[in-house]
Structure 1
Amino acid sequence: MAVEKVVYNGWRDALRLSNGVVEAIVVPSVGRVMRFGFVGGPNLLWENKTVAGKPIKLGEWANTGGDKVWAWPQDDWPNRMPNAWPPPAALDQAPHQAEILGGYGVMLTSSLVIGWGVRCQRALVLDKKSQMLVMTSFFRKERDGADFPVAPWTVTQVNAAPTVWVRKRDGSLHAHARDPKNSTKVFFDADVLAHVQGDTLLSVRALAAPDNAEARYTAPTDRAQIYCNADDPWFGQNAMVPYTELEFTAPLKNLKRGETISLITALTLDKLDPKRPLEPQIAGKIAP
């Protein structure tokens, strides 16, 4: 296990986590995980090559890619910011502080999220013996103010594929087909979202968090979301493919000063056998 400072696609503050089999690269200056893949293999996260290595300007949305945290619910953004877009600057555009956690992980800490009175922290820990990156994302209320519900919302961007696999909480497996002509968003009461790229399955799994006992979802289907970006000539012109977002939210909680609300997600990589039927392999990999 090792955490080392590296230069990644022009970002000079990047931190690489590796257990010798898989690796994750965290970029504090853009506040997100920008790479997750097998050592020497392709990145399973989508990246916007046109903004790689560049600082993000406050008030602008660069759509950098990778895995990040936003504030849920999005419908509340106009109540907390002067405009409904772009996302909260402290989460999406401002640099994060980084602390190395021993030899196995990184803690990212945002600046204060104005309008919400919270600070976001993410403990990003690579498992020593598996192909899993566990990400604990939590909001801590640091300012007194209006009483409103809030929760962390993770957005994992991946290269668009024809199908996203959904393991619903009733145990059933659903294949969600992407519409290449229209950008779409769908909601599921699910705890695993999975995506195939080449011979590799990337799954995102939501895990139970200890400080959510009193928190509640407005609707069960708020738990897991899939956003599929439509085809656009711009992507081809810039040697990129469109993206899909695999998203999870924590249940909502009215935070008092000093309280937290957390969302724990795990990214996992599994190799698939191209000679065997795909669906039974995926069902086995993302089983409860």
Structure 2
Amino acid sequence: MTFVCGNPFPKNMRWALLLLLASLTWTQQAAPATQFQSKTRDNARHQVSEYQVSVTNVTYHGWPNSLILSNGKVEVVVVPAIGRVMQFRFVREDGPFWENRAMDGKAPNPAAKEWSNFGGDKSWPSPQADWQKITGRGWPPPVAFDAMPDHSNTHGGVVELVSAVDPSFGIRTRRRVELDYQKPIMTITTTYEKVSGRPMKVGIGVVTQLRDPQRAFMVLLPKSRFPQGYVRLQFDPPHDLKVEDGLVSLTRDNTQSQIGSDANTLLWMDEKYVVRIDSSRVRGEYADEGTNATIYTGANPDAYVELETFGPLSLMKTGNKIQRRNVYTLLQRQEKDPFAEAKRVLGQ
């Protein structure tokens, strides 16, 4: 642009330019600062809308260098020290994820013979039936998937957890944790990378531990592969099991139970909140009688349930990667009746 001396602009135009410059200066000074932030552009309306996801480093229940992602409405607590997403909650409210407060601040121990049940959300490889022949023990879970700290990376309001390479599976796990800019929606993308060792058939499992629910649901496909809509996998039959209106539902009592299905959507709810987990079934071979979604109920004194999703089995060779995505939506309860609430959440 070429500038000329003098005053080439009419007086009224000069005033308009001065007002515009003053407005821009004030906007820059007033813009809030965050440690990390993400932005989006609303092209449909041809105007810029900015939303932010902040990431804050905290000590959480005794674990230093934990991370809280927040969009101002909901927040996610990530604890790399134990390799878990420990909470997903509305800001300044209690969360639905189950946390074992007896384990606060403790470090995972890969040599332990008993499972360190921290709670939260994590990834285990499937099928579990193969753990014995691959690791030499059927339980606890493989060490790098469950009993070792993760490394964390933060970029653009997104947190990535990166595990060590599991010594038995030769697999590294990456979990990308992100929040929607405005909505109460968390997305976790889990990737397995085959780094070393012999080829093996593996699927991605994601296990989310949640507090004792009023009711938990599987949303049936229009044509389920299972005549009853579900299959009992192990332990006792669930308490108050019902199959009606396209929903398989249950409550937890004081014993263990586990059922599986081919559902794409799982629901958990108590009297205040609803958690919806979506993870689409794709074509392929699945473990555990062909199920890709399961609900496990824990026995007393640990009052929790697990909503579990699984991807298809893949023959992984060195250099291969497989990936699965889970979408978690957190909602406030509106209907008193849990079945009416489930239908509302599903848009039925």
Could you state the TM-score of these two structures normalised by the residue count of structure 1? 0.89
Aligned pairs (5 A) from 1:137-156: 137-145=190-198, 147-156=199-208
What is the CA deviation profile of residues 21-66 of structure 1, one whole-angstrom value per residue up to 9, with x for unaligned ones? 0000100010010111000010110000111111111233210000
Q: 1:200 aligns with which of 258, 273, 279?
A: 273
Q: 8 Å contact 2:213–2:252 — kept in the other structure?
A: no
Q: 8 Å contact 2:214–2:271 — kept in the other structure?
A: no
Q: Distance in 2 between matches of 1:78 and 1:267?
A: 31
- Following superposition, the deviation at residue 162 of structure 1 comes to 4.1
- Following superposition, the deviation at residue 219 of structure 1 comes to 6.4
Q: 2:293 aligns with which of 224, 247, 261?
A: 224
Question: 2:279 is paired with a residue of what secondary structure?
Answer: strand
More strand by share: 1
- Following superposition, the deviation at residue 204 of structure 1 comes to 1.2
Q: 1:18 aligns with which of 65, 70, 76?
A: 70
Say yes or no: does 1:129 pair with 2:129.
no
Aligned pairs (5 A) from 1:4-83: 4-60=56-112, 61-83=115-137
Say yes or no: does 1:88 pair with 2:179.
no
Q: Distance in 1 between matches of 2:59 and 2:316?
A: 38
- Following superposition, the deviation at residue 255 of structure 1 comes to 1.2
- For the pair shown, the structure with the greater C-alpha radius of gyration is 2
What is the CA deviation profile of residues 203-227 of structure 1, one whole-angstrom value per residue up to 9, with x for unaligned ones? 111047xxx77x4324674200111
Q: Distance in 1 between matches of 2:197 and 2:148?
A: 23
Report how many residues are paired: 273
Q: Distance in 1 between matches of 2:346 and 2:171?
A: 33
Q: 8 Å contact 1:207–1:266 — kept in the other structure?
A: no
Q: Distance in 2 between matches of 1:188 and 1:199?
A: 26
Q: 8 Å contact 1:192–1:204 — kept in the other structure?
A: yes
1:285 equivalent in structure 2: 345
Q: 2:330 aligns with which of 258, 262, 269?
A: 269
Question: 1:190 is paired with a residue of what secondary structure?
Answer: coil
Task: Give identity over the alignment, percent.
Answer: 29
Gaps of 5+ in 2: 1-52, 224-244
User: 4+ residue stretches of structure 1 with deviation over 4 A?
Assistant: 218-221
- Following superposition, the deviation at residue 129 of structure 1 comes to 2.0
1:247 equivalent in structure 2: 308
Question: 1:95 is paired with a residue of what secondary structure?
Answer: coil
Select the structure with the greater relative contact order (CA < 8 A; seq sep ≥ 6). Answer: 1
Q: Distance in 1 between matches of 2:341 and 2:214?
A: 17
Q: Report the residue type matching 1:53 in the other structure.
A: G
- Following superposition, the deviation at residue 143 of structure 1 comes to 1.3
What is the CA deviation profile of residues 70-102 of structure 1, one whole-angstrom value per residue up to 9, with x for unaligned ones? 110000000111211111111111000100021
1:111 equivalent in structure 2: 164
Q: 8 Å contact 1:250–1:263 — kept in the other structure?
A: yes
Q: Report the residue type matching 1:217 in the other structure.
A: Y
Q: 8 Å contact 1:250–1:261 — kept in the other structure?
A: no
Q: Report the residue type matching 1:185 in the other structure.
A: Q
Q: 1:181 aligns with which of 231, 250, 254?
A: 254
- Following superposition, the deviation at residue 173 of structure 1 comes to 3.2
Q: 8 Å contact 2:265–2:276 — kept in the other structure?
A: yes
Q: Distance in 2 between matches of 1:30 and 1:135?
A: 17
Say yes or no: does 1:102 pair with 2:156.
yes
- Following superposition, the deviation at residue 248 of structure 1 comes to 0.4
Q: 1:59 to 1:119 in 2, by over 3 A?
A: same
1:239 equivalent in structure 2: none
Q: 8 Å contact 2:258–2:296 — kept in the other structure?
A: yes
Q: 1:218 to 1:154 in 2, by over 3 A?
A: closer
Could you state the TM-score of these two structures normalised by the residue count of structure 2? 0.74
RMSD: 1.9
Q: 1:270 to 1:173 in 2, by over 3 A?
A: farther
Q: 1:198 to 1:162 in 2, by over 3 A?
A: closer
